[in-house]
A and B are shown apart, each in its own frame.
Chain A
Amino acid sequence: MKFTIMINEGPYQHQSADSALQFCRSLLAQGHEIFRVFFYHDGVNNGSSLSVPPADDRLIQKEWSELSKEHDLDLVICIAAAQRRGLMDKDEAKRQGFESNNMIEGFRISGLGQLIEGGIESDRTVVFGD
Chain B
Amino acid sequence: MAMLHIVNKSPFEKVSFRSCLNHVSKGDSVLMIEDAAVGAIEGTSFSEKLKTAMGDVSVYVLGGDLAARGLSEDRMIDGIKAVDYAGFVDLTVENETTQSWL
Q: Is the CB of A16 within 8 A of B98?
A: no
The CA of A86 and the CA of B89, in the complex, are separated in Å by 33
Overall SS of chain A's interface = mixed
Point out which of B34, B88, B89, B100 has the most chain A C-beta atoms below 10 A from its C-beta: B89
Known: A15-B34, A19-B33, A26-B86. A124 touches B102 (CB 8 A): no
- Cross-interface CB contact of A25 among B6, B33, B85, cutoff 8 Å: B85
- Compute the total of residue contacts between A and B using a CB distance below 8 Å: 44
Q: How far is the CB of B6 from chain A (nearest CB, A)?
A: 7
Within 8 Å of chain A (Cβ to Cβ): is B67? no
Known: A129-B100, A130-B102. A27 touches B8 (CB 8 A): no
The CA of A23 and the CA of B34, in the complex, are separated in Å by 13
The CA of A19 and the CA of B64, in the complex, are separated in Å by 10
Q: Is the CB of B89 within 8 A of A23?
A: yes
Q: How far is the CB of A7 from chain B (nearest CB, A)?
A: 11
The CA of A125 and the CA of B34, in the complex, are separated in Å by 19
The CA of A3 and the CA of B97, in the complex, are separated in Å by 11
The CA of A125 and the CA of B100, in the complex, are separated in Å by 10
Within 8 Å of chain B (Cβ to Cβ): is A55? no
